[in-house]
A and B are shown apart, each in its own frame.
Chain A
Amino acid sequence: MGALADLDLSALSVSVRLAAMTVIVLLMVGTPLAWWLAHTRSRFRPVVEAAVALPIVLPPTVMGFYILVALGPYGPLGRIADLSLAFTFTGLVIASVFYSMPFVIQPLQNAFEAVGKAPLEAAWSLRASKWDAFLTVISPIALRGYISAIVLGFAHTLGEFGVVLMVGGSIPGQTRVLSTTIFEHVEVMEYSQAHTISAFMLIFSFLVLLAVYIANRRFPIHVS
């Protein structure tokens, strides 16, 4: 029971809510963007691809710094919202969307490229409108891509630290998440608490990745 208490349920709840919100936003924004990347012949495609991949290589502090500036009361996003979004849950979601973007976009883009245009044209020839064809043909065929995108986006958001610390601070119940909690425990030498949360995240992350790889290997796509 001690271990469960150490887990800090409010931080867990913030982590899960943050990851879920981030994935939902990314699926909505990322689906059209990934579709565009998969099918465009535009010469701007590599530029957009590089921009999407940036969070993989950039130090989280660099991203965190610019997002913090953008979200602050004098930044462009802060001005639109007419208040400072820094150190709020909303600000954290915005930051996470950028930070986890490649982990959602890239699996979707790969899936859309693999599906190709052939099934889409077939669906059109059977009177399905563009939306209808996307929902009933493209999405089910690209289902594995969606599962990978959701799982990786969720897990990666759970694991982010640098950006969260810079943009969200660590306000209990609002912006304190599991990864920042570990850091704070270590700072005050509470190693056993840090251990519990770390082990939880380690096992969780491993299981998530395992599930993705198993799903990719043999997930049968059947609707009827």
Chain B
Amino acid sequence: MSRLVAQFHVRYPTFQLSIDLDAPASDITVLFGPSGSGKTTLLRCLAGLERASDGFMQFGNDVWQDEKRGLCLPLYKRPIGYVFQEPRLFPHYNVRSNLLYGYKRIPVEERRIAIEQVVDILGIGHLLERRIHKLSGGEQQRVAIGRALLTSPKLLLLDEPLASLDIQRKQELVPFIKQLHKALHIPVVYVSHAINEILQLADRVVLLKEGKVVGIGALNEVLTSPQFRRNLGSLRVGAVLDTRVANHESEYGLTRLEFKGQFLFISLQPVSVGESLRVHILASDVTLVVGQIDCPTSVLNILEATILEIRETDQSSVDVLLDIGAPLVASITQKSLVNLGLKPGQRVFAHIKAVALNEELVE
């Protein structure tokens, strides 16, 4: 698996970027952080649009920047596809010419991605002869993504491509981005400050704050980490599980999900059995029970778990990090912690009041 190595140290009038990154370059990596944390600047450094005077960048075996040797390839010499916040389509060309602009500029033998393929994934076949100003915002952004893909990039950089769109258009585009990654196997680095985009898209998260990396890892590791609670505590802390649809209980309006041998119920989903479904469980929706309960309970979702770690979050509450085959967080009171005598290593049952689909989350 190729790796992305990046070191950028650069001082701007208002803030300082100080990045030291070495991460697998595959799947979808999301650069996440509040505005002003340096996400876009980092992405522009990766692309070579900003030049850090103290910088080094390597993608796989290719070194794109090494300031010790005075090397910094301009963006047009890097096999990168870049999608900006705004579509930045060329107004003097129609959709087809915009799509072909980059395609025509790469050598024939490097063209791995076909026009039909991109048009098909992005659903823009009916737009090809249109003028740019006749397209909606979502259509423009799809064309911009298509245009970038048609350069057959080895790395796709997306700078909040959904930021300028309304909620409905966002929901339209997220599946496209997931699908194109699945179909074309291009590593993606995606900048976002919207938690639900991350929950839906990310395989890996780089957490940024004030120009520095404060957390990095697989999505669920980062979401359940103390760094996430500390730096983005205003967001609701929770865990993400990639489950599989086991069966539907349509008489009750429920879908049963399987996760590592345990089961969860969610409201009936239009997804066929065997398909994967990513769900989100908020820490505040998880209750802990010590030992098997004999009394009947209305709670449907009960998972066996082992306590990994207990972290104080404020005077009255703690986060309990659980292992259910993946990390899960329960937020409970200090008083309950003492009453139950919870300790790391202990076996408990996690009662889950609600399982949400990521699409239903609102920031």
Contacts and interface: CB of A to CB of B under 8 A. Distances in A.
Nearest to A118: B88
A40 interface: no
Contacts of A118: 84, 86, 88
A136 B91 CA distance: 12
A126 B148 contact: yes
A121 B49 contact: yes
B94 interface: yes
A12 interface: no
Interface in B128-143: 131
Interface string A14-39: 00000000000000000000000000
Contact of A128 (B49, B76, B93): B76
A137 to B, nearest CB: 6
Nearest to A137: B90
A128 B89 CA distance: 14
Nearest to A132: B105
Interface stretch (A60-68, A82-90, A187-195, A216-224): A216-224
Contacts of B74: 124, 130
B88 to A, nearest CB: 4
B88 A221 contact: no
Contacts of B90: 119, 122-123, 137, 140-141
B243 interface: no
B80 A128 contact: no
Nearest to A116: B88
B354 to A, nearest CB: 42
A43 interface: no
A133 B90 CA distance: 11
Interface in B246-300: none
B32 interface: no
A210 to B, nearest CB: 25
Interface string B95-132: 00100011001100000000000000000000000010
Contact of A222 (B80, B82, B92, B147): B92
Interface in A132-147: 132-133, 136-137, 140-141, 143
Contacts of A128: 76, 101-102, 105
Contacts of B131: 222
Contacts of A126: 76, 101-102, 105, 147-148, 151
Interface string A157-172: 0000000000000000
Interface in B46-102: 47, 49, 74-76, 80-82, 84, 86, 88-94, 97, 101-102
A122 B88 contact: yes
A215 to B, nearest CB: 15
B92 A221 contact: yes
A147 to B, nearest CB: 14
B80 A125 contact: yes
B92 A127 contact: no
Interface in A48-94: none
A126 B104 CA distance: 9
A128 to B, nearest CB: 6
Nearest to B80: A125
A125 B105 contact: no
Contact of B75 (A121, A137, A140, A143): A121
Nearest to B150: A126
Contacts of A124: 49, 74-76
Interface in A178-224: 221-224
A148 B314 CA distance: 66
A127 B105 contact: yes
A221 to B, nearest CB: 5
A223 B47 contact: no
A127 B94 contact: no
B97 A127 contact: no
Contacts of A122: 82, 84, 88-90
Contacts of A121: 49, 75, 82, 84, 88
B92 A223 contact: yes
Nearest to A125: B82
B75 A125 contact: yes
Nearest to A224: B97
B155 to A, nearest CB: 11
B309 to A, nearest CB: 43
A141 B101 contact: no
A216 B339 CA distance: 78
Contacts of A123: 76, 90, 101
Contacts of B97: 223-224
Nearest to A222: B92
13 contacts: A121-B49, A121-B75, A121-B88, A123-B90, A124-B49, A125-B80, A125-B81, A125-B102, A126-B101, A126-B151, A127-B102, A128-B102, A136-B101
Given A121-B49, A133-B76, 16 more contacts: A121-B84, A122-B90, A124-B49, A124-B74, A125-B76, A125-B80, A125-B81, A125-B102, A125-B148, A126-B105, A126-B147, A126-B151, A128-B101, A130-B74, A141-B91, A224-B97
